[in-house]
């Protein structure tokens, strides 16, 4: 307890240095910006900015990237409320009652509710990360290669269990991701695998290349192919103040939304979106007047907005505490760490306390900044929607190319990014989920490495995975997760959640 407070103090000291405050602000600002713009999500943006983080200290890089992620949750709701245009998938639900409120002349109240609920959820989940991570980390301290292998197996199985859509597709994407992850020199023997004689592939395909292609380039192409999103008429802004009745209705919904979002955010494959849908459903079900939902119920804004922000931040827990990314955004954060030679591991809090706690503290500071960025400046953000895509998209593509080229001055990598862009487009059109692919791509090589290292250290004895208690417990969890997937009742729940 005292340790956590002292550590948070250290984190605040790190996060409050001038340069880190600047990168936190920059991240929050960029996040809001791309959150407002439909068609460009936080994942694509983070992928584009990854190469730039080479030139930043690791703490500043992670602070900025995190800011983009939770900043997008704020920005996305602005356009959802004012124009029925969800800037992010996680603010789809906010469109329902947020836009309805705006049409009744209460746009200001809806915006204030969204921002305040998000801020509250952000504060709570920052504390949750601070208190939940150390015990998890302490357990993970005893991890050796066998435990890592078991943990990563669990991570991949969980990615199938909790991803929306048909499990078979998720499994297929995982195996495809594993295959791509195996490209490059074998760690144990140095022998080349799947390189087709290209020396550029000897070190494997970069995380940056894959994520920028699959998310960044593919997203631009999808937007161009799909045409502009349907926009509602832009509602007029009004006073931002909330009435006493508003507060009384929004407050409990915010609390529930925070709890739901945080819970679903911690799960592998979780994140912002699932929580916002779940929270809306819960609010509607427990409301005494469910007919008001869809016509401007303030609970329908407060709950989901709290949930998406709580979910966004809670998904940092498995990444920070165990080194296991639970979704594509966290995979990107891991990528940023690997660029700086920081291996994803449960040792992060001990090996790099300034980075670990600085990042956590910066999240709270960032949420505070976002409150300021979003509420008074909301008019500025809405104007951004006037930027035409014919200017925006070429700029994004150019930026991607420059970014990737600066890393290794390699033209091959630009070609690879383009190839992964096409691959991303194909996958999305086939309704194949990208997250399991990226997770397997990142976890696969680590899993193989740990498997073989565990076998090397045990001098070839495979029972090492069953005789070490933590490894055994994790493998039992794997079996349970598979069993869960086969359970008919769970499959029904999973299907409904997927349908939204």
Partner 1 sequence: MNGFRATIAGALAALGLACAADAALAQAYPTKPVRIVVAFAPGGRTDALARLMAQGLQERLGQPFVVENRGGASGSLGTDVVAKAPPDGYTLLLATTGPQAVLPITGKKLPYDPDKDLTPIALIAESYSFFGINPAVPAKTLAEFIALAKAKPGELNFASSGVGTFNHFAGEFFNVAAGTKITHVPYRGGAPSVTDLVAGNVQMMIGGEFIENARAGQVRILASTNPTRWSEMPDVPTMAEAGLPAFKAPPIWFGLMGPGGMPRPLVEQINRESVKAFTDPKMTPKLVALGSVARDETPEYFAAQIRNEQKLFTEVAKAADMKFED
Instruction: Give, as ranges, the residues between 249 and 308 that touch partner 1 (CB under 8 A).
Output: none
Distance CA 417, CA 211 (A): 8
**Could you give the angle at the alpha carbon of 60 between the alpha carbons of 59 and 66, nearest 5°?**
90
189 lines the binding site for partner 1 (CB under 8 A): yes
Nearer to partner 1, 53 or 73 (CB): 53
**468 neighbors 461 (Cβ within 8 angstroms):** no
453 lines the binding site for partner 1 (CB under 8 A): yes
**399 neighbors 48 (Cβ within 8 angstroms):** yes
202 lines the binding site for partner 1 (CB under 8 A): yes
Nearer to partner 1, 89 or 408 (CB): 408
Number of residues that bind partner 1 (CB under 8 A): 35
Nearer to partner 1, 169 or 453 (CB): 453
Instruction: Give, as ranges, the residues between 133 and 172 that touch partner 1 (CB under 8 A).
Output: 141, 143-145
409 lines the binding site for partner 1 (CB under 8 A): yes
Instruction: Give, as ranges, the residues between 429 and 448 that touch partner 1 (CB under 8 A).
Output: 445
**Using CB under 8 A, which of 262, 339, 349, 447 touches partner 1?**
339
Give the phi and the psi of residue 388 in degrees, each rounded to 5.
-75, 145
The residues, ordered by sequence, that sit 6+ positions from 175 with a Cβ below 8 Å of its Cβ are 440
387 lines the binding site for partner 1 (CB under 8 A): no
Nearest approach in angstroms of CB 286 to partner 1 is: 47
Measured from the Cβ of residue 110, the count of other Cβ atoms closer than 10 Å reads: 33
Tokens (6 digits) for 459: 């001098």
Burial of 199 (0-12, 13-18, 19+ CB in 10 A): exposed
Which range, of 167-175, 268-276, 355-363, 456-464, touches partner 1 by CB under 8 A? 456-464
**Using CB under 8 A, which of 410, 418, 472, 477 touches partner 1?**
410
Tokens (6 digits) for 338: 């690997």
192 lines the binding site for partner 1 (CB under 8 A): yes
Which range, of 23-31, 192-200, 243-251, 417-425, touches partner 1 by CB under 8 A? 192-200
Q: Token match 């691959």: residue?
A: 423
Instruction: Give, as ranges, the residues between 38 and 77 that touch partner 1 (CB under 8 A).
Output: 54-55
Nearer to partner 1, 243 or 412 (CB): 412
Nearest approach in angstroms of CB 453 to partner 1 is: 6
Transcribe 161-198 into DSSP letters.
HHSSS-HHHHHHHHHHHHHHHT-EE-TTT--EES-TT-
- CA 92 and chain centroid, separation: 16
347 lines the binding site for partner 1 (CB under 8 A): yes
**Using CB under 8 A, which of 285, 383, 390, 459 touches partner 1?**
459
Transcribe 42-66 into DSSP letters.
HHHHHHHHGGGGGGS-HHHHHHHHH
- CA 3 and chain centroid, separation: 28
The beta strand positions in 125-240, using DSSP E, are 184-185, 192-193
Nearest approach in angstroms of CB 215 to partner 1 is: 22
415 lines the binding site for partner 1 (CB under 8 A): no
Burial 450-466, CB ≥16 within 10 A → b, else e: bbbbbbeebeeeeebbe
Binding stretches for partner 1 (CB under 8 A): 54-55, 141, 143-145, 185, 187-192, 199-200, 202-203, 339-343, 345, 347, 351, 407-410, 445, 449, 453, 456-457, 459
């Amino acid at each position: 307890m005292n340790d956590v407070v002292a550590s948070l103090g250290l984190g605040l000291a790190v996060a409050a240095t001038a340069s880190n405050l600047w990168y936190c602000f920059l991240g929050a600002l960029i996040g809001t910006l791309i959150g407002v713009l439909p068609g460009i999500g936080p994942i694509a943006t983070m992928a584009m900015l990854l190469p730039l983080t080479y030139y930043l200290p690791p703490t500043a890089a992670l602070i900025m990237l995190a800011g983009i992620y939770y900043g997008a949750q704020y920005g996305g709701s602005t356009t959802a409320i004012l124009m029925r245009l969800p800037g992010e998938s996680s603010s789809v639900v906010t469109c329902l009652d947020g836009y309805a409120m705006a049409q009744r002349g209460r746009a200001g109240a809806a915006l204030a509710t969204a921002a305040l609920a998000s801020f509250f959820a952000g504060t709570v989940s920052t504390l949750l990360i601070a208190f939940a991570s150390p015990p998890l980390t302490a357990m993970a301290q005893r991890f050796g290669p066998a435990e890592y292998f078991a943990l990563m197996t669990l991570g991949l199985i969980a990615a199938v269990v909790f991803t929306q859509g048909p499990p078979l597709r998720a499994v297929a994407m995982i195996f495809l991701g594993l295959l791509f992850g195996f490209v490059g020199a074998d760690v144990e023997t140095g022998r080349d695998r799947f390189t087709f004689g290209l020396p550029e592939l000897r070190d494997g395909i970069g995380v940056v290349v894959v994520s920028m292609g699959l998310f960044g380039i593919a997203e631009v192409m999808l937007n161009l192919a799909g045409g502009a999103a349907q926009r509602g008429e832009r509602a007029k802004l009004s006073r931002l103040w909330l009435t006493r009745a508003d507060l009384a209705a929004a407050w409990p919904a915010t609390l529930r939304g925070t709890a739901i979002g945080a819970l679903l955010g911690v799960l592998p494959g979780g994140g912002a979106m699932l929580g916002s849908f779940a929270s809306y459903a819960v609010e509607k079900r427990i409301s005494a007047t469910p007919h008001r939902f869809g016509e401007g119920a303030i609970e329908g804004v407060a709950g989901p907005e709290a949930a998406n922000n709580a979910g966004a931040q809670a998904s940092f827990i498995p990444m920070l505490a165990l080194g296991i990314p639970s979704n594509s955004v966290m995979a990107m954060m891991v990528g940023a760490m690997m660029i700086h030679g920081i291996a994803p591991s449960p040792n992060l809090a001990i090996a790099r306390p300034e980075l670990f706690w600085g990042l956590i503290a910066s999240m709270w500071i960032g949420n505070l900044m976002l409150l300021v960025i979003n509420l008074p400046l909301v008019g500025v953000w809405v104007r951004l929607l006037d930027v035409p895509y014919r200017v925006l998209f070429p700029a994004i593509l150019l930026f991607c190319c420059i970014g990737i080229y600066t890393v290794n001055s390699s033209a091959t990598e630009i070609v690879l990014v383009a190839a992964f862009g096409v691959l991303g487009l194909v996958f999305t059109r086939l309704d194949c989920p990208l997250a399991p692919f990226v997770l397997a791509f990142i976890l696969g090589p680590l899993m193989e490495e740990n498997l073989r290292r565990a076998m090397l250290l045990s001098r070839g004895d495979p029972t090492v995975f069953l005789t070490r208690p933590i490894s055994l417990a994790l493998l039992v969890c794997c079996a349970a997760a598979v069993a869960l997937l086969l359970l008919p009742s769970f499959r029904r729940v999973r299907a409904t959640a997927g349908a939204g």
